Amino acid sequence: MTSPGQAAEFRPTHIVPQDGLPAWETPDLSRPTVALDAFLPVRLLTRRGEWGEVLCANGWSAWVDGRLLLAVPQPPPTGGRPLTRVEDPQPLLTRCAEDLERYRRAVTDLASGRLDPESFRRSLRGLRVGVVVDGESVWLYDETAGRWMYGDGSRLATYAVVAGPGAPPVPQTPPPEADTEGRGDVRDVPHEPTKIVELPRPEAG
């Protein structure tokens, strides 16, 4: 049980998302502990890669997937400086645009006959781009971190992750280097097949 003094001193930095969060005693998937309840206020103590160590108001701490924590708005720092954004969307937008242009060039080369179908397939193996724009809202796939990001034009925040904390990093696929005939580098790049997941349909009221 938390004393009034403890509650008054506790300053949360994040809250748990609406589906709750699995938790572990240490940053190790083999040592699970009690899951955190939805919307629970927590204080992020430290990060270790994708892992985050959080402290609850009752003094209990655990390790979670830090990418899924929702930041609590903080008051502006002394001096009236603006709040720090979650993440700048422009670098990821630039990467997505470059990858999409790489795909467009390959399609053009296939249509013109500069690439045969097999070379086209191999030149794009491992390329993954995810962009959904709906008005001012955007969803971007961040291949380097294996997560989907949601943005409103000025900031990005993690929307969903592909794998749990501690998973091996997603291998990066370099853009193809054009050869003397302009056909592109067609080396095979191993990758996991894309998985299609069907979301459950909402039940009729």
Residue 17: its pLDDT value, please?
A: 87
Question: What does DSSP assign to residue 182?
Answer: S
Q: Which of 25-29, 47-51, 62-66, 166-170 has the lowest mean pLDDT?
A: 166-170
pLDDT in tens, 132-173: 887 778 888 888 878 888 888 778 887 777 777 766 655 555
Residue appearing with tokens 């990758």: 191
The backbone region for 185, taken as left when phi is positive above 0, alpha when psi lies in -120 to 50, beta otherwise, is: beta
Q: Does domain 11-71 have CATH number 2.30.30.40?
A: yes
Radius of gyration (Cα) for the chain, nearest Å?
Answer: 22
Report the C-alpha gap between 124 and 104 in whole angstroms.
11
The backbone region for 112, taken as left when phi is positive above 0, alpha when psi lies in -120 to 50, beta otherwise, is: alpha
Q: Is the pLDDT of residue 184 over 50?
A: no
Please list, in sequence order, all residues whose beta carbon lies within 8 angstroms of the beta carbon of residue 85, skipping any fewer than 6 positions away. Answer: 154, 155
* Residue 95 near residue 128, CB atoms below 8 Å: no
Backbone angles phi, psi at 112, to 5 degrees: -85, -5
Residue 198: its pLDDT value, please?
A: 53
The CATH 2.30.30.40 domain(s) of the chain lie at 11-71
